[in-house]
Amino acid sequence: MSSDILIEIGADRVAHLVLNRPNKHNAITPDMAAAIRDGLQRLAADENVRVVVVRGAGEKAFCAGTDLNSLDGFGSPWGFRNAINYAREFDAFEKPIVCALKGWVYGGGFEIALNCDIRVSSPSARFAAPEVKHGWLGAGGFSQRLTRLVGYGHASRILFTGQPIDAADAHRIGVVEILVEEGAELETALALAKDMAANSEIALMTNKAGIRAAMEGGLTNGLAMERELMGFAMAMGAYGEGPSKFRARKE
């Protein structure tokens, strides 16, 4: 795996995925995109991992998005279109992901954050979708995930102007769920991840599937899917495990 991506698996069932190009604001190259795909596939298959925390190395950025110096390597717009969509790799991951944000959260880095499940931010974070200034749009979730999070008007403001918003504004409109003091974003994200990882893998994954279904479909189908997910989770062992834990606490 590329040294530009670091993965560490803790004893607490929480894994760390670190974007590790701090001298380049953790901008993503094609090799990094491939390493992200491989790393997430590895974490998805690891039974010792229940939650993943994503962060950027260094003090200046979470991620500045695609390294624009790498665009010539794709050969053509079609080549770029068919490249690994690294932000969507996070979207496809079936276990919960918490991201710890600071500094630049730009372009594809912003899209990575949008495709995570919970965003914890320090006040230093700045969020921007500068693609419009380059003459295109982001294709890792901007028009879809951002609009679902913040609504039509705020998404339009962010995507049409390309101007950055600060962490306070991002928290106010719903991009960020938890805003903490400077330097506390990773500690807070880890504490949250550990609390989540104390629950069973199947419970976490079925809850995530249900939440995503609510974002992507109608209420009737979503409720039907929720009931099927509940039955699946119980069939996987939770039917006996939950009541037995409750009885043990009472005793």
Joined together, the tokens standing for residue 128 give 């921007």
241 among known catalytic residues:
no
Backbone angles phi, psi at 81, to 5 degrees: -60, -35
Q: Are 167 and 125 in contact (CB under 8 A)?
A: yes
- 94, 131, 216, 226: which is the annotated catalytic residue? 131
Joined together, the tokens standing for residue 94 give 């079936």
Of 68, 57, 61, the C-alpha closest to 30 is 68
Provide CB contacts within 8 A for 40, sequence distance 6+: 17, 52, 89, 90, 92, 93
70-78: long-range pairs with CB below 8 Å, 24+: 70/29, 70/30, 73/30, 74/30
- 59, 89, 111, 216: which is the annotated catalytic residue? 111
111 among known catalytic residues:
yes
Burial of 244 (0-12, 13-18, 19+ CB in 10 A): exposed
> Active-site positions?
111, 131
